[in-house]
Each structure stands twice: as structure tokens, then as C-alpha cells.
Amino acid sequence: MKKNIKKLQIFRLTIQLLLLFLSPALFILAFSELKSIYEMIIKGNFNFLQAFPSLIEFLTVIIITVLGGRFFCGWICAFGTYNELLHLLAKKVFKIDFKVDEKLDAVLKYLKYVVLLLLVVLIWTLGSEILNTTSPWDAYAQLAYFPEVLADYTIGFILLLLITIGAFFVERFFCKYLCPLGAVFNIFSRISIFKISKPSDKCGKCRLYTSDCAMALPLYKVESVCGGECINCLKCIEACPRNNVQVNVLGENVNPELASAVAIAAMVGLYAVSNVGGTILTQSGIATGNSASISTSINGTSEKYADGTYTGTAIGFKRGTTEISVTIKNDEIINIETVSHQDTPRFYQAVEGTIISEIISAQSTSVDTISGATYSCEGIINAVKDALNQAKV
């Protein structure tokens, strides 16, 4: 049994490291898309089919979270992996494993709801731009270019440093106490079909599964855990010497390796299908906002535009040039493509589809940038503006 459980944790770590490098901006994209949904709802212009191509990351994650719990947090989120690896280093190398008092921990976990509320009120509703250069997520996304962006993200890097120190001493520090997206997933995951089952009548007094829990859940007090603070890391299964802690789906105990593999495969599959669906909607015109033309919506002007394909350029991340082609027909933007760019490929590719879809959907360049890739987004937006200026009649 120990051998199988070891394989499970190795599998999880492999997935975490892989996505840490392949998709570091997924957390930022999902949260940015949640913001977009909120803003469209309060403005009264939410159209699911029209907005779908620019909401794929969040919709994928939230569907899996509702059905299977917080696998995104425990297995996929790059910022969660960053926190976990820091504490693993502290625990294995420096023998640091600080435990917060159980009652204090329970109170501190409400802080993430305060953070979420402040973001919703100050940033999403009132439109404050305070996070444009102070966001620790933006700073995290630019870590590879620290010397070049330090001046732009000084406060963001200070906040990131404080989070890093917290994660060094307390496992999953940010996830437990500060993550606003975690606050949202905490609520939605409580109805999932995935549970951690632990019959108390078969338990001893060791509480090893509790002391090994990444989120410091008092597992010894309950018979099962369904979503909420649980991030489905399955470390409690590894810790139990009696094999009493089990994965339970729809009332039946299942193999934890199989359950986790199915959950990750389902998330990847749903993401792929959603991308295909988004592309079809965009190409068919359903998601291009045909009810408004750019003559009335682009930057609030009444300009007319000549049909054709125009190429615009602008400055993106690291002062590199972004070149974009924009195709216009009947005063509408029908296609936007990247000709070339000098940004960091993985960050540019992570935001390219979202920003382009939003511009086409809104028929306007007045769209929000994505936290963590602000310069890349601005490069795309300004290049589109340049192309549109050339198309003016």
C-alpha cells in the first residue's frame, strides 16, 4: 500500500512541476475571467455564447471543481505549487514545519474572503487601478525577468516576498489565508461528488492524517470531507497507517490513483473541447458581437472603416515589438491574428486567445488586461489600435 501511495504523490508532483512550467498563468487567467463574468453581469450585457471563447479557463476549472472538488488547487495551480515547494524546501532542508494553532488557523482562513470582497468592491466594481503595479500575482508571473521589471512592480515584489516568507514557515500559506480564487472554489466545491472518507470507529489516536494535511484540516473530528478547504492533494491517504482514509465517489470507495487520473484527464479534456467550441463560435460569428459595429463602439467614436486586412505594431513586454493583423468587413472586426511578437512565448500564448476573443466579442479595444501579463496584453491591444487607425475612412 505504501508503494502505491508513494506513486500517487510522485504522480501529483510530476503534474505540478509540468504545469508550473507549461501553464504558469492559468491561475491568473481563471481569476481574470471570473472578473470579466462579474463585470458583464453588473453591466447587464452578459451573453454566454458570445463571451464563451474568452472564459474557457475559468469555466473549465469551475466545472471540474463543482463535480470533483478542488483538484485545480491541489494539482494544477502554479501559485499553489510555488507555495508548496517552498515549504517542502523549508521542511526537508531547514527542518522548519511551523503549525498554526487550530483555533487561530480557523479564524485566519476567513481572510481570503475579505481579500475577495475588497477586490470585488474596489477593483471590479469601483474600477480602482491600484493592482496594476502592486499585484503579487503580476510580480510572480514576471519572476524570470526580475531585474528588468523590478521598477514597475516594486510593491508587487514586496508583497510576493512576504507571501514567500509565510509559505516558507506555513504550508500552503497563501492558499489557506489569502487566495481569493480559493475562496470562490471553497464555496462551489462543497457539492462535489468526490469525498475523503474516514470512519472514526476504525481510527486510533495518532492523528497522523491531520498533522500531514496541507490545509491543516481537523480530520480527526469528522467522518468525511467534501470540498471546502480540502484541495484533494490526497496526502492524508498516504499518512494513515491503517489505510482507513479512502477516496469516495458517489458513496463508493475508489482507487485514489484512478480517481485523480480521471479528474486530471477530465480537466484537460474539457479544456480542449472548450477551446474547440470557442473557436467554432468565434468563426461562426456567434461570439463576435455582431449586434455592434466598430464604427460605434471602437473607443466610443463614430469612425468608419474600410474593408480589408491591416497590420499594426506596438510595444509589448521587455520593449519587444508585437505585430498584429486585423481583418475588417462591413465595419466589423472579423479576425485578429498575431503576425509576430518578441514577448516571452508561454506568457504571450496564455493571454493571446483571451485578449483577441474579448476585442472581437466587444468590437472594441477597451478591454481589460490580464493580471500577470499586462505588458503582453497592452502590446496586443495597442497593435490592434494601430491597425484600426490605418483602416479609418
Nine-digit cell string for 353: 486567445
Please tell me the predicted confidence (pLDDT) of residue 318. Answer: 66
Instruction: Give the confidence band of 356 by pLDDT, cuts at 50, 70, 90.
Output: confident
User: By C-alpha distance, which of 353, 348, 350 is closest to 337?
Assistant: 353
Contacts of 158 (CB under 8 A, 6+ apart): none
Which position has the higher pLDDT, 90 or 97? 90
Which position has the higher pLDDT, 261 or 320? 261
Type of residue found at 391: A
Query: Of 126-140, 258-272, 329-343, which range is least confident?
Result: 126-140
Helix (H, G, I), strand (E, B) or coil at 109: coil
Q: Using an 8 Å Cβ cutoff, are 76 and 267 in contact?
A: yes
Query: Of 4-8, 44-48, 55-59, 191-195, which range is least confident?
Result: 4-8
- Tell me what percent of the residues of the chain surpass a pLDDT of 70: 90
Burial class (CB in 10 A: 0-12, 13-18, 19+), 319: exposed
Mean pLDDT score of the chain = 84
Helix (H, G, I), strand (E, B) or coil at 199: coil
Nine-digit cell string for 81: 505549487
41-54 pLDDT tens trace: 888 877 787 777 77
Helix (H, G, I), strand (E, B) or coil at 110: coil
pTM of structure: 0.80
User: How far is the C-alpha of 141 from the C-alpha of 147, rounded, in Å?
Assistant: 13
Nine-digit cell string for 208: 497522523
DSSP string, 43-80: HT---HHHHGGGSHHHHHHHHHHHHH-SHIIIII-HHH
Instruction: Give the confidence band of 293 by pLDDT, cuts at 50, 70, 90.
Output: very low
Asked if residue 165 has pLDDT above 70, the reply is: yes
Nine-digit cell string for 392: 479609418
Please tell me the predicted confidence (pLDDT) of residue 73. Answer: 95
Which position has the higher pLDDT, 152 or 232? 232
Choose from 99-113, 197-211, 239-253 the range with maximum mean pLDDT. 99-113
Asked if residue 2 has pLDDT above 60, the reply is: no
93-146 pLDDT tens trace: 999 888 899 999 999 999 999 999 999 998 888 877 777 677 787 777 777 667
Which position has the higher pLDDT, 145 or 223? 223
User: How far is the C-alpha of 63 from the C-alpha of 48, rounded, in Å?
Assistant: 15
Type of residue found at 110: Y
Phi, psi of 339 (to 5 degrees): -85, -45
Helix (H, G, I), strand (E, B) or coil at 327: strand
Please tell me the predicted confidence (pLDDT) of residue 220. Answer: 86
Which position has the higher pLDDT, 48 or 387? 387
Please tell me the predicted confidence (pLDDT) of residue 301. Answer: 56
Please tell me the predicted confidence (pLDDT) of residue 206. Answer: 74
Q: What is the mean pLDDT of residues 372-386?
A: 86
